[in-house]
Structure formats: structure tokens, C-alpha cells
């Protein structure tokens, strides 16, 4: 692709938002107008003290035959934003630290899911994962699992404090990145998130481009009367930005004051975009992809829709979620959860494990001696719990598809921030 005039970039972005003219100038010349292929994953692996064998590896299937090889792990319930669709204005009651998974437990469970249950893709979420003090350690621990079959380590971030840490996270093993950005307008950003920070988000986006962290995805939750008129502006960004903008339908969770009237269906947004841009073409997706992807011919980036509410992708679902407090959710909409944390802390399986303030030291010491892993009791029990939970998984929306179709979805679910994005 030929290099694109920097002045053209400024002219285009100025039409979207004059504020962005200042930030777009930071895009490195070597990547303006160009998409780099995904960098080859670093195959250099350090030996861990304990690694589970891939022998007799199970495949996680539900009763519909869907293979689940994608695990989303929430690292924290804390966040430095207060997005309206994610949490109530008064905030949420945080789980006591003693009841949250420790970094060692997260790594141990990830190892089990990869080596024994066939997970090939892990995404770290929150809250804001950058608020987990030992994020680098966790990513490094996951990176050591590549030899056992892990193919991808991703993270979803709000981008506020990402820029100065991204290079180190990439060196630790992070190779996929989603950044949340629901508006291109500074005042509206502050309204949606109840905080300031859009300039820092754009700095993080430019840093990700500089580091060639492709595919780089921008997540935008579309809400009627709030930011739905910006879908064309977001697609315009893909003219010169090597990003994949993903428009997410507004979903109901506890405390986010969801109303059916605020939902903007994928079909409506797509009609708006196609009325403005010519030559919009469908991009082929993998059967397990959540987004339905599109591209304006000749544009650098692409865009797509995560249409959970109006055009779901449940038939290809391959995802499980592990919350920060160690609960397994087999479906984002399902209100049922099962505690994996309680399994791995079961005193009958592990021996005496303190639940006092010294729990992290105790668990770390147990891991060093491989208590529970050596005899396989814990991994066997975790497998049983996961298999049983998958056996109860509904085909779509946690059994609540009809409620969604009628626009009467009773919330009953945790806040998004407590589940993990």
C-alpha cells in the first residue's frame, strides 16, 4: 500500500473531531496507512517448576457439541473509570481481597485449562487489568504455556494508564489488545465514563500502533441518544488507522439502567454506515468469532458488530469466563455460576490452607511444594466441575433468549465490572 499523505490524515480527522488532530500526529510514519501482519509469537520459553502434562488432555464440549477453547479471566474488580453501561453511578461493593484469586492461583488455573482442558486462547479482563499489581507476572506465567498449546494472550483495557506499560507487557507475552473507546468527543467521553482521560486513551492507541500490536481492536458500546450518531465517524477512522472498530450492542446488567429503547440494533448501524460509505464489503469470519466484520474498500482498517442482542453468535460460542473471585460463568447472560476458587482451596483436597490475611503466602508456599497438583486431586475436581457446568449450558443467552426477543430481559445478573468484560 502506498504511503498516505499526513496532511490527508489531518484533514480527515479534523472533520471527525478537531481535538484528534493534535493526537493523530503521533502516529509513526512507518505505520501510517499500513497494517502489519501479526508478529510471530515469541517461542522462547522459560522452564517452570511445575507444568502439567498434555497427556490425556480433555476437550471441553457442551451438549450441543461446541468446543470451548477460549478462557476470559478477570484479574480485578477495580476500575479507574465508571462507565454507565458497566457499573452503577454509586459504584459496586468489591469482593474482599481474601476471596479474590491470587496471581499464583490464576496462573495455576490457566495452566490446568491449557494443559488439561484444551484452552488455546486466553484474554485478561477486569475491571481494568492494569490495576492488578502483578499483571506482568501473570502474563509471563501465561506465556510459559505456549509450549503446552496456548496460542494467544490478549487483554482488554480502557487505555487510561496503558501507554507507559505496553512495551513491557508485550515483552512479557501479550500479543492481542482491545481498547475501549465509546466516543471521539472529549466532553461526551467524560459523561459516559464519569471521568476524564480521552487523551490518554489516544496516546495508548498510538503506542499500540507503534509497537505493531495488530490486530488492534477498539470496542465501542453503541447507545441510542448518546453515541449512536458517531458510528460513521468511527468508521472514518479506519480510513487511515490500522484498527478494527467493533460496535457492541448495549446489553443489560445489574445497575446499568438498561432499556430496550437504548439498544441500537446492528442492522440499523450498518444501514447508517452503508448510506454514508460506498463499497462496504463483508469480511469472512471464523465460526467462533463474536464480531461480524466489514470493511470499506480501500480503507486501512475494518469494522464489525458484536450483536449479542439482535443477531447472536451463540451457535459458535467457544468461551468461558473466570471472574476475579474465582467463579466460572459458561455464558455471559447466565445468572448461574460455580466457584472454582472454592475447589482449589478445599482443605480436604489441599491440606490445611489458611483463610487468614496470610492466604497469599500460604498458597504461594503450597504451589512451590506442588501440594494438590502432584496427586491430581484438584485438577480432577476442577475438570469435574467445569464439565458439569458445561453440561448445563443453554444454547443461547443463558436460556433467556425469549426474554430478549420480547424486550423484557430481567436483569438479575451481576454488574459487568464484577463479571469481567
In whole angstroms, give the CA distance from residue 111 to residue 53. 10
Range with lowest mean pLDDT among 42-56, 166-180, 223-237, 273-287:
42-56
Q: Given pLDDT bands bounded at 50, 70 and 90, which one contains residue 334?
A: confident
In whole angstroms, give the CA distance from residue 227 to residue 189. 10
In whole angstroms, give the CA distance from residue 387 to residue 381. 10
DSSP 356-378: STTHHHHHHHHHHTTTTTSS-HH
Query: Which pLDDT value is given to residue 58?
Result: 66
Query: Which pLDDT value is given to residue 31?
Result: 40
Q: What is the pLDDT of the chain when averaged over all its residues?
A: 81
**Residue 327's closest CA among 254, 418, 394?**
418
Give pLDDT tens digits for 245-260.
999 998 776 666 667 7
DSSP 8-state assignment for residue 77: S
Query: Which pLDDT value is given to residue 23?
Result: 44
Give pLDDT tens digits for 76-117.
999 888 777 767 777 778 899 999 999 999 999 999 999 999
Q: Given pLDDT bands bounded at 50, 70 and 90, which one contains residue 402?
A: confident
pLDDT > 80? residue 186 = yes
Query: Which pLDDT value is given to residue 411?
Result: 58
Q: What is the CA radius of gyration of the chain?
A: 22
pLDDT > 90? residue 17 = no
Q: Given pLDDT bands bounded at 50, 70 and 90, which one contains residue 3?
A: very low
Task: Average the pLDDT over 310-314 and give the result.
Answer: 88
Q: Which domains does the chain have, with CATH numbers?
A: 62-419 (3.20.20.70)
Task: Average the pLDDT over 229-251 and give the result.
Answer: 96
pLDDT > 70? residue 221 = yes
Torsion of CA 74, 327, 392, 346, to 10 degrees: 140
Where b means 16+ CB within 10 Å and e means fewer, 380-407 reads ebbbebbeebbeebbbbbbbbbebbeee
Give pLDDT tens digits for 315-331.
999 999 999 999 999 99
Cβ atoms of 324 and 74 within 8 Å: the answer is: yes
**Residue 420's closest CA among 163, 122, 139?**
122
Amino acid at each position: 500500500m502506498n504511503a498516505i499523505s499526513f496532511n490527508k490524515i489531518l484533514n480527515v480527522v479534523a472533520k471527525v473531531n478537531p481535538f484528534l488532530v493534535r493526537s493523530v500526529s503521533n502516529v509513526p510514519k512507518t505505520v501510517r496507512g499500513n497494517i502489519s501482519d501479526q508478529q510471530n509469537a515469541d517461542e522462547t520459553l522459560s522452564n517452570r517448576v511445575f507444568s502439567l502434562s498434555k497427556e490425556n488432555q480433555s476437550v471441553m464440549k457442551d451438549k450441543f457439541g461446541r468446543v470451548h477453547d477460549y478462557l476470559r479471566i478477570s484479574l480485578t474488580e477495580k476500575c479507574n473509570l465508571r462507565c454507565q453501561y458497566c457499573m452503577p453511578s454509586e459504584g459496586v461493593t468489591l469482593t474482599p481481597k481474601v476471596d479474590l484469586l491470587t496471581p499464583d492461583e490464576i496462573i495455576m488455573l490457566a495452566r490446568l485449562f491449557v494443559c488439561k482442558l484444551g484452552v488455546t486462547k486466553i484474554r485478561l479482563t477486569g475491571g481494568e487489568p492494569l490495576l492488578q499489581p502483578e499483571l506482568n507476572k501473570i502474563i509471563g506465567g501465561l506465556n510459559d504455556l505456549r509450549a503446552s498449546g496456548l496460542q494467544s494472550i490478549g487483554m482488554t483495557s480502557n487505555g487510561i494508564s496503558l501507554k507507559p506499560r505496553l512495551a513491557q507487557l508485550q515483552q512479557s507475552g501479550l500479543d492481542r489488545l482491545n481498547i475501549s473507546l465509546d466516543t471521539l468527543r472529549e466532553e461526551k467521553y467524560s459523561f459516559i465514563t464519569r471521568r476524564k482521560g480521552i487523551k490518554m486513551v489516544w496516546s495508548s492507541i498510538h503506542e499500540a500502533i507503534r509497537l505493531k500490536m495488530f490486530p488492534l481492536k477498539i470496542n465501542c458500546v453503541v447507545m441510542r441518544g448518546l453515541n449512536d450518531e458517531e458510528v460513521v465517524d468511527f468508521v472514518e477512522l479506519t480510513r487511515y488507522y490500522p484498527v478494527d472498530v467493533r460496535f457492541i450492542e448495549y446489553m443489560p446488567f445489574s445497575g446499568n439502567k438498561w432499556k430496550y429503547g437504548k439498544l441500537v440494533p446492528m442492522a440499523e448501524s450498518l444501514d447508517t454506515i452503508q448510506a454514508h460509505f460506498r463499497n462496504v464489503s463483508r469480511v469472512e469470519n471464523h465460526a467462533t468469532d463474536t464480531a461480524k466484520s466489514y470493511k470499506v474498500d480501500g480503507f486501512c482498517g475494518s469494522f464489525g458488530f458484536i450483536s449479542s442482542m439482535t443477531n447472536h453468535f451463540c451457535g459458535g460460542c467457544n468461551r468461558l469466563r473466570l471472574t476475579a473471585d474465582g467463579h466460572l460463568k459458561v455464558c455471559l447472560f447466565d445468572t448461574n455460576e460455580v466457584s472454582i476458587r472454592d475447589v482449589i482451596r478445599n482443605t480436604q483436597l489441599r491440606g490445611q490452607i489458611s483463610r487468614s490475611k496470610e492466604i497469599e503466602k500460604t498458597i504461594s508456599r503450597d504451589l512451590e511444594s506442588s501440594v494438590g497438583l502432584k496427586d491430581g486431586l484438584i485438577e480432577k475436581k476442577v475438570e469435574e466441575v467445569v464439565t458439569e457446568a458445561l453440561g448445563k449450558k443453554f444454547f443461547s443467552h443463558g436460556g433467556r433468549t425469549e426474554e430478549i426477543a420480547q424486550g423484557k430481559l430481567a436483569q438479575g445478573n451481576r454488574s459487568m465490572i464484577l463479571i469481567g468484560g
